[in-house]
Chains A and B, each alone.
Chain A
Amino acid sequence: MNVQVVYCNHQTADLSVREKLAFSSEDDLLRAYDVLRERFPASEYVVVSTCNRVELYTAQENASDAPTSQELAAFFSDFHRVPVEAFLGDLLEQTGAEAVRHLFEVACSVDSMVLGENQIVSQVKSAYEIATKGNANGPLTNALFQRALNVSRRVRTETRLSEGRISIASVAVGEFGRSIFDRFDDKTILVIGAGEMAEETLRYLQNEGVQRIIVVNRTEERAGALAKEFGGQAEPWSQLDDWLSRADVIVSTTGATQPIVDAARFRKARKQGSGKPVFILDLGAPRDFSSDVSEVDPGVFLYDIDDLERTCAKNRAARTTEIAKARSIVEEETSRFMHDIYHKATGPIVQRLRERWHDVSRQELEVLYRKLPNLSEDDQQAIDRTVERIVNKLLHPPLETLRDEARDGTPHGLLDAIMRLFHLH
Chain B
Amino acid sequence: MKLLSLEFFKCRRRKIVLVCAAVLAVELMWMLTFFTRQDEEDMQWGWMLLLYNLSMVDAIVLPLSVATLASRSCELEHRGSTWKLLETMAAPDSLYAAKLGWGALVLAALLSIRTGLFTGLGLAVGFPGPVPWGRLGLFTLVSWAVSMMAYALQQGLSLRFANQAAALVCGIAGSFLGILSMLFPPALTRCVPWGYYGLLALVGMNWDEMTRVTDFYWRWPQLTDIALLLVWGTAFLLLGRAMFLKKEV
Q: Do A and B bind each other?
A: no
A contacts, CB < 8 Å to B = none
B contacts, CB < 8 Å to A = none
